[in-house]
Structure 1
Amino acid sequence: MADKSAIEWTEATWNPTTGCDRVSAGCDHCYALTLAKRLKAMGNPKYQNDGDPRTSGPGFGVTVHPDALAIPYTWKRPRVVFVNSMSDLFHARVPMDFIREVFDVMAETPHHTYQVLTKRAHRLTRIAEKLEWPTNVWMGVSVESPHHYDRIHDLAKVPAAVRFLSCEPLLAELPDLPLEGIDWVIAGGESGFQARPVDPEWIRDIRDQCVRARTPFFFKQWGGTTSKSGGRELDGRTWNQMPGLAG
């Protein structure tokens, strides 16, 4: 949990679960997996459960943290909260009852806005009708290449007040994005020692599609060795649009 976040499109992070498994190319250089290994070595109790070395790693086994459920109640000032920056709430090993508990917390703290992001859109769609969807929950899916447009189609079926796409790390051009029913798009390049470069035209095309569809567009970063390496300007300006906000 962090009461402040360096992620440009949120204000705080909340991790009622930790750990995950890589499922697609966008996961290849997962920052959370690397961070979990370091946190395990430092003795952090939340990161002592190891994952499958083929898809996960030290300290990154999927683990639920019931004690973390109380954290949002302690935040009196309204915050935009990224849920599970170190996990995926819709991972198959997160029990349905625990997902419901997370949604209960979000419903009971309506002064916060929660951003939930998943790569497991098929499970999301299967269980969405079993969840109550408060209006302060934004639901998103990661889309790093056209191979994962199915995640967008699944997301469109979910009764969230705001549906969004995270096109980061962007690994390919995303032509003809199905933006009907999508309320927000984030795009960005990869960062880290092994960062794969992003073509500026890929970013421009996503922006232009969003402008035509009147969908808010947020450009997070060009990426590089660090997240700040290339800056955030696109054609001489920053793009910080969010649902209901100018940018």
Structure 2
Amino acid sequence: MALTKIEWTEASWNPMTGCSKISAGCKNCYAERMALRLQAMGSDNYSNGFDLTMHKHVLLKPFEWKKPQMIFVNSMSDIFHENAPFEFIKSIFATMHMANWHTYQLLTKRSGRLKQLATKLSWANNIWMGVTVESAEYKHRIDNLRETPAKTKFLSLEPLLGPIGELNLDGIDWVIVGGESGPNSRPMEEAWVLDIKNQCLAQKTHFFFKQWGGKNKKKTGRKLEGTTWDQMPTPVSI
């Protein structure tokens, strides 16, 4: 298990690593920067850099972690990447079913493939499914997510690159908002965040503000109008 500083989870598990860019939010991918750094450091799991790679030896890792954890699955990849073999995806789901004392958080930008495969996979209550929506252009991903059998559904509006506009949060349990961080980060406007927060409150959807981002995300912090927003769904028992 890799402990993580990501504010909305506790640990990460990466049976897949590597990805490819498909939309505007991918431009300054943090996972790509990290993967190339780990490759340069000689890490075995990153010998292929940021090329999509399956790690069968990692599939059973959650069984080694006896304390229940909130686990972000494939923080360094996208489980529904078009080149990820379906049988390998099924193997990841099998582990999540069997090591069921954990709660697993999955996140994808490839909502089309998620929609295509969702009914062919076995969903347990401890498997949360989310999609990234970085601007209004990608709101169709929410509709694809809504059609999946996942018990808990969430949105990651990060990096938020523009106003989202009207949100239909029917069937959506949780919304995470965050600005882009890193040396080439693109700015996020407070008005965009406040609009999303107000829509979440009006539609009774949990709201989580992760960060303002920027070149120094510690300095910009994560308070919105003086308040820290850490709302989350309650893990559902098996």
Q: Tell me the TM-score range normalised by the shorter chain.
A: over 0.9
Question: What is the deviation of 1:229?
Answer: 2.8
Deviation at 1:228, TM superposition (A): 1.9
Does residue 216 (structure 1) correspond to residue 206 (structure 2)? The answer is: yes
Structure 2 residue corresponding to 1:172, chosen from 162, 171, 194: 162
Runs (4+) off by over 4 Å: none
Q: Structure 2 CA distance, aligned partners of 1:25 and 1:98?
A: 27
1:36 maps onto 2:26 in alignment: no
Task: Select 1:225's aligned residue among 191, 212, 215.
Answer: 215
Query: Quick one: which amino acid aligns to residue 176 of structure 2?
Result: I
* CA shift digits 1:167-193 (9 cap, x unpaired): 000000111112111010000100001
What amino acid maps onto 1:19 in structure 2? G
Structure 1 regions of 5+ residues with no counterpart? 50-58
The one-letter amino acid paired with 1:232 is R
- Please list, as runs of the form range in 1=range in 2, the aligned pairs for 1:12-31 lying within 5 A after superposition: 12-31=11-30
Cα deviation for residue 109 of structure 1 reads 1.2
Q: How does 1:72-221 map to 2 (within 5 A)?
A: 72-221=62-211
Q: Which deviations, in whole Å up to 9, do the C-alpha atoms of 1:148-178 show, x marking residues without a partner?
A: 0110000000000100000000000111112
Letter in 2 for 1:22: K
SS in 2 for 1:229: helix
How far residue 70 of structure 1 moved from its aligned partner, in angstroms, is 1.4
The residue type paired with residue 39 of structure 1 is L
**2-structure distance, mates of 1:218, 1:36:** 27
Identical columns (%): 53
Report Cα offsets for 1:205-231 as digits up to 9, x if no partner.
Answer: 000000000000000000111332310
Distance 2:146 2:216 in 1: 33
Using the size of structure 2 for normalisation, the TM-score is: 0.97
- Distance in 1 separating the partners of 2:183 and 2:34: 14
Distance, in Å, in 1 between the alignment partners of 2:46 and 2:67 is 28
CA–CA separation in structure 2 for the residues paired with 1:229 and 1:88 = 29
User: For residue 114 of structure 1, what is the amino acid of its counterpart?
Assistant: Y
Task: Let me know the Cα RMSD of the aligned residues.
Answer: 0.9
Matched-pair contact (CA < 8 Å) for 1:107–1:134: yes
Does the Cα contact within 8 Å between 1:32 and 1:85 map onto a contact in 2? Answer: yes
CA distance in 1, matches of 2:5, 2:68: 17
